[in-house]
């Protein structure tokens, strides 16, 4: 789950729906939870549900969500406590994308027991592990798994092409061009799937991260003194 930086509120809103174009222009037309790209049905989602006391018009309470994640999440969290959130946490450090029916696994040996519980709570909250044939079946309308699988096929096809040039020097113009093309193609959505498939290819990963950070404000900042990830105010990882 990519970590994002919305920045400060560009203006005050009289309706939370009015924040949709501003959010999308900053972090892209992607679900903040499942990472699916969606231009037509992206919704402004209240992290702290208004039903449970969250601020309806506060920029800091907004994320973009696909209809499926928003519907599953609903009002089921009382507030932000007990979960990780992509606008304040380094959520890309939490999960291993397995490319199979489990979809997500908590990274072992990285998180404390409390952090593991919070990561698992986030998976359950928005139904990120729904997959046909698993113990967590999706509803008929929930097609997130299908789009994720289609993106995985596209990313694997890109990886197979990359393998044709993998032993070429990094200054090979064709290799540079292909790495840039793969980064461009990754903007179809499911950022973490692309990172998983190219996890051992730093040249491609760097191109992907640079593009997403520049265009869609991924948050991936490091403390230069010890090369550890910077934890934002209010974040836990």
pLDDT digits (tens, 9 = 90+) for 158-171: 999 999 999 999 99
Check: CB of residue 105 under 8 Å from CB of residue 119. no
- When pLDDT is cut at 50, 70 and 90, the band that residue 84 belongs to is very high
Structure confidence at residue 93 as a pLDDT band (50, 70, 90): very high
What pLDDT band is residue 103 in, cutting at 50, 70 and 90? confident
In a domain, 159, yes or no: yes
Tokens read off for 87: 């606008």
Q: What is the pLDDT of residues 26-38, one digit of tens each?
A: 999 999 999 999 9
Asked, for residue 153, whether it belongs to a domain, the answer is yes
For 26, which DSSP code?
H
How far apart CA 124 and CA 211 sit, in angstroms, is 30
Other C-beta atoms closer than 10 Å to the C-beta of 207 total 21
Q: Let me know if residue 180 belongs to a domain.
A: yes
Bridge pairing between strands 43-46 and 62-65 = antiparallel
Query: With 0-12 CB in 10 A as exposed, 13-18 as middle and 19+ as buried, what is 193?
Result: buried
Q: Give residue 183's pLDDT.
A: 98
Which residue, 37, 26, 20, 29, is CA-closest to 4?
Answer: 26
**What range does the domain containing 159 cover?**
144-216
Reported confidence tier of residue 90, pLDDT bands at 50, 70, 90: very high
Higher pLDDT, 103 or 4: 4
Q: How many domains does the chain have?
A: 1
Task: Kindly state whether residue 62 falls inside one of the protein's structural domains.
Answer: no
pLDDT of residue 61: 98
Query: pLDDT of 204-230, one tens digit each?
Result: 999 999 999 999 999 999 998 988 999
In-domain check, residue 96: no
Is there a contact between 128 and 33 (Cβ–Cβ < 8 Å)?
A: yes
Reported as a single tens digit per residue, the pLDDT across 118-140 is 999 999 999 999 999 988 999 99
Position 162 in a domain: yes
Instruction: Specify which residues 4 forms β-bridges with.
Output: 218
């Amino acid at each position: 789950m990519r970590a994002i930086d919305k920045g400060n509120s560009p203006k005050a809103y009289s309706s939370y729906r009015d924040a949709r174009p501003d959010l999308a222009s900053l972090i892209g037309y992607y679900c903040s939870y499942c990472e699916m790209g969606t231009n037509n049905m992206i919704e402004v989602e209240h992290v702290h549900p208004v039903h449970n006391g969250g601020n309806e018009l506060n920029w800091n309470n907004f994320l973009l969500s696909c209809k499926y994640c928003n519907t599953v999440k609903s009002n089921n969290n009382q507030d932000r406590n007990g979960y990780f959130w992509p606008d304040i946490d380094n959520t890309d450090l939490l999960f291993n994308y397995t490319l199979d029916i489990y979809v997500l696994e908590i990274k072992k040996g990285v998180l404390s027991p409390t952090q593991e519980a919070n990561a698992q709570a986030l998976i359950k909250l928005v139904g990120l592990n729904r997959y046909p044939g698993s113990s967590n079946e999706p509803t008929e309308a929930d097609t997130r798994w299908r789009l994720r699988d289609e993106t995985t096929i596209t990313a694997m096809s890109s990886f197979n092409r990359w393998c044709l040039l993998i032993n070429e020097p990094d200054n090979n113009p064709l290799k540079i061009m292909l790495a840039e093309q793969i980064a461009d193609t990754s903007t179809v959505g499911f950022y973490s799937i692309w990172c998983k498939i190219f996890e051992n290819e730093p040249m491609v990963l760097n191109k992907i991260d640079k593009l997403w950070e520049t265009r869609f404000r991924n948050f991936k900042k490091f403390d230069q003194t010890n090369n550890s990830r910077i934890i934002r105010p209010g974040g836990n990882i």
